[in-house]
């Protein structure tokens, strides 16, 4: 697993003014819902219409099988990232489905970033929420880069995991790829704690572990 912020780059379906109420984690059976999502099971209609958390222009929800093609498009909008991290020119739907399954098997939530007003999938997040939360991946489609969406999503995630009792947020950033990525996290208060080696799809990458105390 790895982390990269690309390009900087739930609400129920309720009015915008109710987003704080709707995103409160105690309103639903979160433990049961997260377990079913982590096991790759289909969520029921009520669960599918509940966001995990929301920002001003987007919300974050669990990915479903119908989102695979959208996730492929997000990855493939960053060809340099794919070349560096996966040693390939593009990902396929089959690869993406296996990646989502592997992400969940490793205990992470596979999530999508959705535009509130367009209802389009704009990005993705892989995260494991715990006392030490591990943000493995945050990626926004290149078409929406430099619009502040990545920052919105990160800020909302930080607020959400604080509510869930998280005390530390961890990210791992591959070195030698894009210096702007590490700079983004440093601007958000993260510090480098040690050098590590990441293994993703059998490829090893030099990286740094970065932590933020919440």
**pLDDT tens-digit map of 23-50:** 443 334 444 555 554 454 444 444 444 5
Does pLDDT of 198 surpass 50?
Answer: yes
> Does 83 reside within a domain?
yes
Structural domain that includes position 152? 5-170
Q: Which pLDDT score, from 0 to 100, does residue 201 have?
A: 78
> Does 177 reside within a domain?
no
> Does 52 reside within a domain?
yes
- Extract the tokens encoding 130: 């715990």
> Does 184 reside within a domain?
no
Structural domain total, the chain: 1
**Percent share of the chain, pLDDT over 90:** 64
CA distances from 195 to 36, 128, 209, 214 (A): 34, 21, 6, 22
> Does 45 reside within a domain?
yes
Crossing angle of helices 79-86 and 68-76, in 10° steps, is 90
- Extract the tokens encoding 76: 């493939």
> Does 71 reside within a domain?
yes
> Does 190 reside within a domain?
no
CATH number for 58: 3.40.630.30
Reduced to 3 states (helix: H, G, I; strand: E, B; else coil), residue 117 is: coil
> Does 179 reside within a domain?
no
Positive/negative CA dihedral, 174, 179, 181, 182:
positive
Does pLDDT of 2 surpass 70?
Answer: no
């Amino acid at each position: 697993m790895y982390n990269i912020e690309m390009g900087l780059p739930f609400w129920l379906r309720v009015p915008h003014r109710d987003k704080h109420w709707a995103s409160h984690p105690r309103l639903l059976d979160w433990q049961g819902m997260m377990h079913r999502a982590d096991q790759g099971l289909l969520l029921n209609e009520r669960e599918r219409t509940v966001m995990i958390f929301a920002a001003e222009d987007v919300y974050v929800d669990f990915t479903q099988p119908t989102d695979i093609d959208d996730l492929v498009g997000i990855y493939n909008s960053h060809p340099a990232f794919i070349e560096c991290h996966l040693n390939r020119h593009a990902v396929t739907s089959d690869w993406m489905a296996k990646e989502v399954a592997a992400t969940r098997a490793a205990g992470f939530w596979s999530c999508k970033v959705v535009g509130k007003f367009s209802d389009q999938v704009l990005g993705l997040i892989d995260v494991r929420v715990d006392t030490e939360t591990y943000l493995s991946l945050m990626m926004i489609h290149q078409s929406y880069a430099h619009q502040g969406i990545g920052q919105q999503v990160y800020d909302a995630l930080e607020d959400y995991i604080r509510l869930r009792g998280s005390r530390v947020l961890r990210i791992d950033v591959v070195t030698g790829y894009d210096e702007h990525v590490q700079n983004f996290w440093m601007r958000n208060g993260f510090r480098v704690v040690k050098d590590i080696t990441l293994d993703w799809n059998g490829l090893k990458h030099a990286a740094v572990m970065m932590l933020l105390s919440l």
